[in-house]
């Protein structure tokens, strides 16, 4: 399968590198990372050590592929969609944080849109080098058309052929809410406390704070019509914290590097949706306010 990884950061590079062992993969990213991959290949270290040579470019326009895997930040989704629309892509699968990315992609692209989640732990250690910090799993389900399970199954088969742990879901919206609950718990708490994911393992005050944010999110999800229990969210948070204990969350990496975070698409989304549904989410509101306060003080854009 010809696969385009649109957003070759930490997760995109890891997945693209692993997929390139079996498929034709092109990474779309930024310099100097892309240049290093073109010259000397991509080195993966950590859980496994892998040296691969996927194609890499900074220009994602007019590209043809069987599948585009989108791993850019939520704030960059529309630009990614417009760029992909200049080419010929049969299907696109979002593995991004936050909610709403799939609708943005569907608004600009004609092909099948899939919704996915990923719990693989990764960190971009430097140009041409990604650290694999924790085994995880991928779930993929149809978004548009809602009944296109066949395409989801074909994508999952391609992932499995590259030894990735992947499954098909027929409840993509529910899985996205579950992923949002986990991200709402782990991302802001690790970013504010400046700790790796493992520091949120129970028992402890950080674990309690993260769990409270996740449980609040589950309540909003149920009010929105999703079937997501508090127990499921607690288990998911604990599982991801354990599997990615050495991982530095994407929001912690953003704060460390003085970059804009995805707070608006994670805890900010929970707060906004809670207001619409008349739900109370004080923990999510506080975490969103603190991260936005840091962004304002740091002058990030």
62 in Cβ contact with 86 (< 8 Å): yes
Specify the pLDDT at position 200: 98
As a whole number, mean pLDDT of residues 35-42 equals 98
Among 246, 245, 219, 248, which residue's Cα sits nearest to residue 234?
Answer: 219
Q: Is the pLDDT at 156 greater than 90, yes or no?
A: yes
Q: Is the pLDDT at 301 greater than 90, yes or no?
A: no
pTM summary value: 0.91
For the chain, the domains span: 2-169, 173-298
Per-residue pLDDT band for 66 (boundaries 50, 70, 90) equals: very high
141 in Cβ contact with 169 (< 8 Å): yes
CATH annotation of 173-298: 1.10.1040.10
d(CA 243, CA 184): 17
Choosing from 43, 179, 248, 285, which is the catalytic residue?
179
Q: Is the pLDDT at 70 greater than 90, yes or no?
A: yes
Specify the pLDDT at position 185: 98
Would you call 73 a catalytic residue per the annotation?
Answer: no
Q: Is the pLDDT at 246 greater than 90, yes or no?
A: no
How many other CB atoms are found less than 10 A from the CB of residue 10?
A: 23
d(CA 145, CA 23): 25
DSSP 170: S
d(CA 20, CA 51): 10
pLDDT tens-place string over residues 256-280: 999 999 999 999 999 999 999 999 9
86 in Cβ contact with 112 (< 8 Å): no
d(CA 71, CA 69): 6
pLDDT tens-place string over residues 77-87: 999 999 999 99
As a whole number, mean pLDDT of residues 6-32 equals 98
Second CATH level (architecture) for the domain 2-169? 3-Layer(aba) Sandwich (3.40)
d(CA 55, CA 101): 25
d(CA 140, CA 270): 22
């Amino acid at each position: 399968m010809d696969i385009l990884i649109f957003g070759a950061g930490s997760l995109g590079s890891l997945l693209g590198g692993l997929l390139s062992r079996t498929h034709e993969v092109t990474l779309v990213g930024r310099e100097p990372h892309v240049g290093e991959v073109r010259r000397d290949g991509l080195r993966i270290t950590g859980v496994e050590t892998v040296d691969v040579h996927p194609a890499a470019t900074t220009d994602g326009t007019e590209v043809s592929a069987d599948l585009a895997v989108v791993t850019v930040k939520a704030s960059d989704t529309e630009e990614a969609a417009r760029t992909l629309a200049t080419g010929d892509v049969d299907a696109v699968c979002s593995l991004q944080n936050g909610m709403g990315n799939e609708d943005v992609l569907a608004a600009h692209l004609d092909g099948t849109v899939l919704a996915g989640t990923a719990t693989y732990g990764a960190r971009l250690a430097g140009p041409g080098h990604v650290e694999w910090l924790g085994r995880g799993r991928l779930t993929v389900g149809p978004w548009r058309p809602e009944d296109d399970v066949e395409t989801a199954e074909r994508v999952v088969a391609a992932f499995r052929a590259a030894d990735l742990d992947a499954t098909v879901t027929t409840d993509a919206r529910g899985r996205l809410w579950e992923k949002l609950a986990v991200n709402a718990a782990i991302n802001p708490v690790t970013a504010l406390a400046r700790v790796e994911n493992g520091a949120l393992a129970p028992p402890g005050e950080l674990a309690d704070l993260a769990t409270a944010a996740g449980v609040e999110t589950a309540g909003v999800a149920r009010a929105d019509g999703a079937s997501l229990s508090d127990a499921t969210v607690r288990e998911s948070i604990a599982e991801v914290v354990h599997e990615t204990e050495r991982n530095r969350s994407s929001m912690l990496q953003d704060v460390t590097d003085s970059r804009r975070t995805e707070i608006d698409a994670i805890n900010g989304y929970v707060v906004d949706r809670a207001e619409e549904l008349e739900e109370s989410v004080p923990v999510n509101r506080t975490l969103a306010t603190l991260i936005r306060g840091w962004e304002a003080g740091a002058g990030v854009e």
